[in-house]
Amino acid sequence: MEIHNTTEDLVIAEVNALCDSLEAAGDRKICTCSQCRQDAVCYVLNRTEPHYVVSHRGAARINQEADQQSRADLTALVYEGIKRVNHNLRPYFSHDKTMEEEALADTPVFNIPTIMGRVFNGLNFSPISGVTVELLQNGTGTPMKDKNWQNPYTLIPNTNGTFTFLPKPVAAAAAGSRGTFQYTIKIVSESFAELNHVFSIPVISEQTSSSFSLTRTFKLPDLYLFPPGEEKNQLIISE
């Protein structure tokens, strides 16, 4: 099944067109790197109505229905999005167009699914924030697919103890081969005993690298932290 949101095409094209015009005009006050363009696209898409189609005929009809006023409104929203993004630039991204990462080559890779889990206080079962969660492989930090995915990651209050990681694809000899990847979730906090949760993910290699998708998620069991000296309760919870 292939379902496509044609609004995405219009927004992406409009964001790129406006950013390209700013670059051509020599406007150095506005960052137009790939990350800021993506953030602006997300800003606009979250404020526009989607239009889904399942055929080329449907796409053509949507394009005809886009009148001049709606295009003008979209342009205004795109400009607003670019300005909003530039007022709050991502601090961990270089924003240097000369150093942007190259796209992965069209070669077989193991696309590791998004790894998702939750951390709770083992004494009162409330979500935990302020602790550091790290994804390890062979004792070292696992490289992420891009800089939007932080590893290690510090839990914040509004995520209700949820953490996510998207590991960088791993090169494969050929598409269709099977591999098993072992990881460790390491959680460190001054208030709780250190936790190390080991798990494995079986993956079948594919010809190209895939993008983030909630349909490709490996969900971990809920993890519970206890004060030092009460780690034995961890076994009771996990069982």
Residue 71 has pLDDT above 80, yes or no: no
* Least confident range of 40-44, 91-95, 135-139, 204-208: 91-95
Mean pLDDT (the chain, rounded)? 82
Domain ranges of the chain: 4-99, 109-238
Residue 53 has pLDDT above 90, yes or no: no
Which has the closest alpha carbon to 187: 195, 179, 197?
195
What percentage of residues in the chain have a pLDDT greater than 70? 79
Residue 98 has pLDDT above 60, yes or no: no
Q: Are 3 and 36 in contact (CB under 8 A)?
A: no
What percentage of residues in the chain have a pLDDT greater than 90? 41
Amino acid at 217: T
Residue 93 has pLDDT above 90, yes or no: no
φ, ψ at 57 (rounded to 5°): -65, -40
- Per-residue pLDDT reduced to its tens digit, 162-188: 999 999 999 999 999 999 999 999 998
Q: Are 82 and 15 in contact (CB under 8 A)?
A: yes
Radius of gyration of the chain (CA): 22
- Where does 109-238 sit in CATH, by number? 2.60.40.180
Q: Are 33 and 95 in contact (CB under 8 A)?
A: yes
